[in-house]
Structure 1
Amino acid sequence: MKKTFMGLRLKRLREERQMTQVALAQALGLSPSYLNQLEQNQRPLTVSVLLRLNAAFGIDVQLFSEDDEARLISELRDLFADAPNDDAPGLAEIRELASRLPGVARLLLQQGRQLHEAREREAIWASRLGLDRQAETLPRPMPFEAVRDFFYRRHNHVAELDELAERCFADWQLRPGNTGNGLARRLSERHGILVSTDDNDRGLLRDFDEKARRLRLSASLSSGQQAFHMATQLARLEAGELIDELAAGAAPDDEETRRLARIGLASYFAGALLLPYGRYLESAEACRYDIEQLGRSFGVGYETACHRLSTLQRPQAPGVPFFFIRVDRAGNISKRQSATDFHFSRIGGTCPLWNVYEAFAQPGKILTQLAAMPDGRNYLWIARSVHRGHGGYGAPGKTFSIGLGCDLRHAERLVYSKGLDLKAVDGFTPIGTACKVCPRAHCPQRAFPPSGNALVVDENRRHFSPYA
């Protein structure tokens, strides 16, 4: 464990419980002088002390995690990206704020988001009243972003749904890799719903006729995809109340956001039902997170196997914390989930140096990449393209690239680190989150200057250029 100084958080924890230093020291079995040194950041917080905090108070050790601090740093950099150069805090100041005053940092982020939404609403109303025609081009606040934030705050892990799904898997006597028959039986016996497989006249992958109590699945779906759609239907029937409660917490005052949250939570439950937490984590650790092997063992596709890996963050039994992303050829991100400190910029644009884009040029092949971020953190990335074609000859299909990444310190647990030099940092690919906030001024793939720097000096050509 790296030396981690969390004195202010420890002091805040003690004050919240209205305890003196002596009382807390006694509860943890430490000397008062040693506890005082911890609070003054004269001593690093050790694993032993963390375990004592957990045992004495049931404290989630994530409260003292460096990953949580890194997430704050990334979000704060986005918040201050559009500030004028003279006013914008530097990286050192942002690190200090996230480390020593995390509560203040989170409040700033919350107020920043509220200010951004208020400005957008103001512009929209001004447009409707004819006060500013240019405001018509401003985007409305996006409900899907609120849903992403909901999962991000939970580190992409919804414990309530995971635990329910595991109980259902056992009670319904489902079998890993062959859940379809058991799910169809549950739908029929418990809910009176008949499952049929055919090509419906509307070209839908799933069509539920509530009046006829009939669930029709497209014949073009694989057995694993059919099982997922059945599990999604069961999510609404068996976990509907829990999903509604969780969705209400995501957005108590916005129905569209709650609707999207319910869809996301139903899909989460379906994945957790097909790939129950304990069994899937055990298999993943046994095969060193070999994605294709996991997919074969559990009867699911590559994308589903990857997505489930990004959710394995049960505090008592965590897996490797992954970041999951799905992009198309145009660079549009249709899925992104993070159980890590890795944070995508809200400002837009992704780094073309990521291997998720190279995967399109080598269909079906798993590519690995050791990547270095501007903040000094390093990652192992795995990428592979996937294709979906549900029509006949000549019908357009869908091609995506799936990326799965983890912090370098976890890389040795993955089979994909085999043959890679994890210590040759100079050879890592330098990537960023978005050009507007990336400080790599001389990157050959830069699309436009960073925010707040409209012009940069090109020392080689001795003139001002909009691009480095």
Structure 2
Amino acid sequence: MADPKLFAGHAVRRLRRGAGLTQAAMAGVLDVSPSYLNLIERNQRPLSATLMLRLAERFDFDPLRLAAEEPGGGVEAMRRRLADPLFADLEIDRTELAEWLSAAPGGVEAFARAFDRMGAGGTTPADDPIVRVRREIERWRNHFADLDAAAEALSDELRLGSGDLYGAIAERLRARHSLAIRILPLDVMPDRLRRLDLHARQLQLSETLDPASRSFAAAFQLGQIEARDEIEAMVTGAGFVDRAAERLYRRHLTSYFAAALMMPYARFLRACEGTGYDIELLQRRFGSGFEQVAHRLTTLQRVGARGLPFFMIRIDRAGVASKRYAGASGAALVEADGRCPLWQLHHAFDRPGRLMVQLVELEDGARWLTMSRTVQPQGRRYGGVSAEFAIGLGVAAGLAAPLAMAKGIDLKGAGATPIGLGCRACTRIDCPQRSAPPAGRTLIVNDRERGVSPFGFVAD
């Protein structure tokens, strides 16, 4: 896939002002004309690879910061915020939003911060650490290049000595860090899946963990030790003010490293492209669980070697989302608080363990090929509470042709299921599944007739 053009006027302007330079002075340093630099800062010209290298050389500038510094997380992140029912009557289109980002990046960032602090629709507490961490992950589009590179190098080193990754990690923990892995029976560790006992120098794992989860737990522990500096630098850079958010973010980054160790970037991307992103085959090839592979698919955004931009969401039977990763997909389906019951994600619980594929279409015409399947957390025991979640994966229909799951599906035809972002955000007129009228629309109550939908409302 070709890399998209990079418009980064906000970052260049911030860099210039931080250096105390006029446009003319900075243009002289970069060997470009002041008028060309002006166009770049106004996002009327993309940032070329040559100019990016000059910025890196002459201003000690890290190009990786460009994607992370887009005002409000960029166009797609802002679109997800504006999909909130609070703005339902404004009808801000993509072109208008792009012009806003170009003309007033500071204002966009200020709006994003205020919206995130308030919470979507004012329903999320301002100090919710989970929301703060999710926004930081979103800022990076859930791709952390430094962690990927470090995990890939370590994975190659471990595989030189053994084809058994779990065994290689266990040996490295023992030889280099004096930590042994011990599998404990359920009656000894009834309420924990993993525990680090520094006194005994043991990483203790529950016998209820399957092989993929044991590998992940061992990789997580190795990441805590050997990727500590990279992870701490990112945690510090996030600037969280509360320890809960800091710890949640550190755990996410360590989990990211562990997944990247099990599924190293280049090998995993080749396998994805070679198999048509066949998730079950990828599970077997990399010794990973369904949820681990699903999450990894949202991270494939290495510059020059990008995979398809997947999103992932995890919900319980009540529809509460416990994981959301939009990655580079820009999917409003991830960020919306509401979801449509016509989306098969909610039907996955009726067919446990079965992958369900569905082509859906949102009100704005965006089409997504989605995959849904249930997963059960590790640590189950007979007679205990049996938890279950549904994982939703998706990719834009226009990019989905290479997928094995897309075979036999007309991605441009009339077979897409029309869905919305929850009834309060959806303005489809004749939906028989509607449970509430859309926010911001005048309700129509007519005693003389009844339509397909129990709620009538003014369309415009």
Give the deviation of 1:56 after TM superposition: 6.2
Matched residue of 1:379: which SS?
A: strand
Matched residues in 1 for 2:357 and 2:236: separation?
39
Q: Pairwise mapping of residues 25-104 of structure 1 onto structure 2 (< 5 A)? A: 68-78=74-84, 81-82=85-86, 88=90, 90-91=92-93, 93-94=96-97, 96-98=99-101, 101-104=104-107
The unaligned stretches of length 5 or more in structure 2 are 57-62
Matched residues in 1 for 2:389 and 2:155: separation?
30
Closer, same or farther in 2 for the Cα pair 1:388/1:345, shift >3 Å? closer
Of the candidates 357, 380, 385, which is equivalent to residue 369 of structure 2?
380
Contact 1:320 1:406 in 2 (8 A): yes
Matched residue of 1:405: which SS?
A: strand
Instruction: Identify the residue that residue 436 of structure 1 maps to in structure 2.
Output: 424
Matched residues in 2 for 1:53 and 1:409: separation?
31
Closer, same or farther in 2 for the Cα pair 1:439/1:70, shift >3 Å? farther
Map Cα deviations across residues 331-371 of structure 1 (whole Å, 9 max, x no partner): 12111112121135766222222221122222222211111
Is residue 2:253 matched to residue 1:250?
no
Give the deviation of 1:113 after TM superposition: 3.0
Closer, same or farther in 2 for the Cα pair 1:255/1:241, shift >3 Å? same
Instruction: Identify the residue that residue 399 of structure 2 maps to in structure 1.
Output: 410
Contact 1:8 1:101 in 2 (8 A): no
Query: Which has the larger displacement, 197-206 or 306-315?
Result: 197-206
One-letter code of the match for 2:412? K
Instruction: Identify the residue that residue 202 of structure 1 maps to in structure 2.
Output: 189
Closer, same or farther in 2 for the Cα pair 1:105/1:76, shift >3 Å? farther
Size of the aligned set, in residue pairs, is 437
Give the deviation of 1:276 after TM superposition: 0.9
Contact 1:176 1:274 in 2 (8 A): no
Give the deviation of 1:191 after TM superposition: 1.3
Give the deviation of 1:155 after TM superposition: 0.7
Matched residues in 2 for 1:256 and 1:64: separation?
26
Matched residues in 2 for 1:10 and 1:246: separation?
19
What is the TM-score of this pair, normalised by structure 2?
A: 0.80
Query: Which has the larger displacement, 440-449 or 90-99?
Result: 90-99
Q: Pairwise mapping of residues 179-218 of structure 1 onto structure 2 (< 5 A)? A: 179-200=165-186, 201-203=188-190, 204-218=192-206
Matched residues in 2 for 1:177 and 1:458: separation?
70
What is the TM-score of this pair, normalised by structure 1?
A: 0.79
Is residue 2:140 matched to residue 1:154?
yes
Matched residues in 1 for 2:13 and 2:235: separation?
30
Give the deviation of 1:427 after TM superposition: 2.7
Matched residues in 2 for 1:38 and 1:184: separation?
51
One-letter code of the match for 1:108? F
Instruction: Identify the residue that residue 332 of structure 2 maps to in structure 1.
Output: 343
Give the deviation of 1:40 after TM superposition: 9.6
Matched residue of 1:419: which SS?
A: coil
Matched residues in 2 for 1:403 and 1:357: separation?
9
Instruction: Identify the residue that residue 341 of structure 2 maps to in structure 1.
Output: 352
Contact 1:178 1:299 in 2 (8 A): no
Contact 1:68 1:341 in 2 (8 A): no
Query: Which has the larger displacement, 286-295 or 395-404?
Result: 395-404
Matched residue of 2:212: which SS?
A: helix
One-letter code of the match for 1:72? M
Closer, same or farther in 2 for the Cα pair 1:100/1:5, shift >3 Å? farther
Indicate the percent of aligned positions where both proteins have the same amino acid: 34
Of the candidates 215, 227, 230, which is equivalent to residue 239 of structure 1?
227
Contact 1:177 1:297 in 2 (8 A): no
Matched residues in 2 for 1:227 and 1:354: separation?
33
Matched residues in 2 for 1:176 and 1:296: separation?
18
Give the deviation of 1:74 after TM superposition: 2.2
One-letter code of the match for 2:151? A
Give the deviation of 1:439 after TM superposition: 2.9
Is residue 2:320 matched to residue 1:316?
no
Give the deviation of 1:444 after TM superposition: 2.8
